[in-house]
Amino acid sequence: MAYPFSDFKYSDGLTVVGISFCTAIVCEAISWVLIYRTNSYKNLRSSIDKASKKLETMKTDSNKINIKKSKTKKIDRVETSLKESSRDLSLFKFKSGGVVALVLFVVFGLLNSLFEGKVVAKLPFKPFGLIMKMSHRGLQGNDPTDCSMAFLYFLCSISIRTNLQKFLGFAPPRGAGAGAGLFPMPDPKTS
Amino acid sequence: MKEGKSVKLNHQQPHQNGHLSPSKFAKLFDPEASWDKDQLGDVLHWIRQVLGLACGFLWGSIPLVGGIWFILFLALSTGIIYSYYAVILKVDEEEFGGHGALLQEGLFASITLFLLSWILVYSLAHF
């Protein structure tokens, strides 16, 4: 191919990154069409945000003042609401997960057919274990610093998609995660 | 419909639209400013990503070779994040889920971004 970076020995690495970037945009576009633009998602997200912030406020207040039974019941109610909304949100996202996974799989297959057995980059370190299996996948030769398409694609998938979601505001609300971890169910009942 | 929010010391909306104004940049270094969880999480996340990208470019350009430099990147970026929220902003980490939650913000994405930029710059610049 005659394109600007063809002089570099490992310009294929840039090709992999470029394709991964386009794939990430396509996946987010799919997610937007199937999930984020719908009213039910917006309502769910809004209720999760409200519930998690309300919960934080109530937790803070309950630390300052003596705990009352009515307070505990309110906290229980908000927690239940948060859990239900989080579960609904997970089910909602699962719908588009299949489509996105299919796109990622197809793109991986495409890249695999283009770059199988080809060294697309050179690692500045010696990988070991699972990382080496991934980075040396499908390659001939004994040099552990040879990098296959699969490893580069994996790094791109995590870094580009995560940051793209963050940038576009599609990242999952923290309340959904915090609701599960920071407020375990047994606490309110024992108090 | 937009949800109403309780009155805060900070009148800025958590999710700003458009570019950051100078006063909002000033908040990034103001120990007196109040932060909500999402805001601080977002700031720490993006600082992590910038550090990952910058260190990857630097390590790859010099070049620094060997697994030790990966560990050094982890230590450096974690130290910077900690210094930022504990020393510059002086936030009470317990209000935000503790040290663990703050230090983990954006960590995995940062690691993959660092490795990606380190590998690419090293490969393109030195072969």
Domain tally for chain A? 1
Domain-located, residue A42 = yes
Q: Which residues of B touch A176 (CB under 8 A)?
A: none
Q: What is the pLDDT of residues A91-138, one digit of tens each?
A: 888 877 888 899 999 999 999 999 999 999 999 999 999 999 999 999
Domain-located, residue A56 = yes
* pLDDT at res. A69: 75
Q: Which residues of A touch B66 (CB under 8 A)?
A: 124-126
Interface probe with A: pick from B119, B126, B127, most Cβ of A within 10 Å: B119
**Structural domain boundaries enclosing B86:** 45-126
Q: Which residues of B touch A154 (CB under 8 A)?
A: 112
User: Shortest Cα distance from B18 to chain A (angstroms)?
Assistant: 12
Measured over all CA atoms, what is the biggest interatomic distance in chain B, rounded to whole angstroms? 58
* pLDDT at res. A70: 79
Q: What is the mean pLDDT of residues A150-162?
A: 95
Q: How far apart are CA B68 and CA B51, in angstroms?
A: 17
Helix (H, G, I), strand (E, B) or coil at B85: helix
Domain tally for chain B? 1
* pLDDT at res. A14: 95
State CA A78 to chain mean position distance: 26
* pLDDT at res. A63: 64
Q: Find the closest chain B residue to A121 by CA distance.
A: B123
Q: Find the closest chain A residue to B71 by CA distance.
A: A125
Q: Find the closest chain B residue to A5 by CA distance.
A: B124
Residue pairs between chains A and B whose CB atoms are closer than 8 Å: 92
Match 């705990």 to its residue by tokens.
Answer: A67
Amino acid identity for residue A87 in this structure: R
* pLDDT at res. A181: 39
Name the helix (H) or strand (E) containing A146.
strand A146-147
User: Is the minimum CB–CB distance between B118 and chain A shorter than 8 Å?
Assistant: yes
Domain-located, residue A141 = no
Q: What is the pLDDT of residues B3-60, one digit of tens each?
A: 333 333 333 334 444 455 677 788 888 888 888 888 899 999 999 999 999 999 999 9
Domain-located, residue A3 = no
Q: Provide the token pair at A156.
A: 């791109």
**Percentage, residues of chain B above pLDDT 90:** 63
Q: What is the pLDDT of residues A67-100, one digit of tens each?
A: 667 778 888 888 898 899 888 888 888 877 888 8
* pLDDT at res. B2: 35
Q: Rounded to whole angstroms, what are the CA distances from B56 to A5, B27, B82, B102?
A: 20, 28, 20, 22
> Bridge partners of A121?
A147
Domain-located, residue B11 = no
Rg (CA), chain B: 17
Q: How far apart are CA B119 and CA A159, in angstroms?
A: 14
Confidence band (pLDDT; 50, 70, 90) for A190?
A: very low
Q: Which residues of B touch A169 (CB under 8 A)?
A: 15
CB contact under 8 A, A155 and B116: yes
Domain-located, residue B87 = yes
User: Shortest Cα distance from A183 to chain B (angstroms)?
Assistant: 11
CB contact under 8 A, B65 and A56: no
Confidence band (pLDDT; 50, 70, 90) for A45?
A: confident
Degrees to nearest 5, angle at CA A90 with A38 and B13: 60
**Structural domain boundaries enclosing A91:** 9-115+149-166
Sign (positive/negative) of CA torsion A37, A41, A43, A45?
Answer: negative
User: Shortest Cα distance from A125 to chain B (angstroms)?
Assistant: 4
Q: Find the closest chain A residue to B52 by CA distance.
A: A159
